[in-house]
Amino acid sequence: MKSLIRSLALCSLLGIAGNAFAADKVCKLEIAGTDQMQFDKKELAVAADCTQVELTLKHTGKLPAQAMGHNWVLSKASDMAGVAADGIGAGFASNHLKKDDPRVIAHTKIVGGGQSDTITFPTSKLTKGEAYSFYCTFPGHSALMKGAFKFN
């Protein structure tokens, strides 16, 4: 009985240590936008044991942000159309996103050719197995610039 208690205590100690390590797991993602109004990826995935996501959006084209700007926006798939529609009226200076839009889980700023932006967000904002989409809210772009984001 004593040894059982001892091994249970050891297990819980290891459990705590394991959680401490897991708390620091930053998973990195990269995606590029082009002058042809495309992302280079149709799907991004993050494993459920990642606690933070560090995402870098790079614009590999040459066109300026006002002409062919791209951002990277994450929301539930079902919120994409509404977020993109409201982003049109929000204007360029607001990264074509409605101010403090609660549907937006994470987003970069709009970048132009040769520029990049890196953001970090916690996966505590995500639910395992939920259908998420990423897209660009520059007017007209989300029809082509979109993909699935998986957390599982």
Site string for Cu ion, 34-73 (x = CB under 5 A): ------------------------------------x---
Q: How far is the CB of 36 from Cu ion (least distance, A)?
A: 10
Cα–Cα distance, 2 to 4 (Å, whole number): 5
141 near Cu ion, judged by CB under 5 A? yes
One-letter identity of residue 61: G
Tokens of 83: 């977020």
Residues sharing a CB contact under 8 Å with residue 117, sequence separation 6 or more, in sequence order = 56, 57, 71, 72, 108, 109, 111
Cα–Cα distance, 114 to 94 (Å, whole number): 20
Q: How far is the CB of 119 from Cu ion (least distance, A)?
A: 16
Q: How far is the CB of 9 from Cu ion (least distance, A)?
A: 54
Among 138, 146, 149, 151, binds Cu ion (CB under 5 A): 138
Order of strands, sheet of 116-122, starting from the edge strand that comes earlier in the sequence: 26-33, 52-59, 116-122
# of chain residues touching Cu ion (CB under 5 A): 5
83 near Cu ion, judged by CB under 5 A? no
Closer residue to Cu ion in complex, CB, 55/136: 136
Positions touching Cu ion (CB under 5 A) are: 70, 136, 138, 141, 145
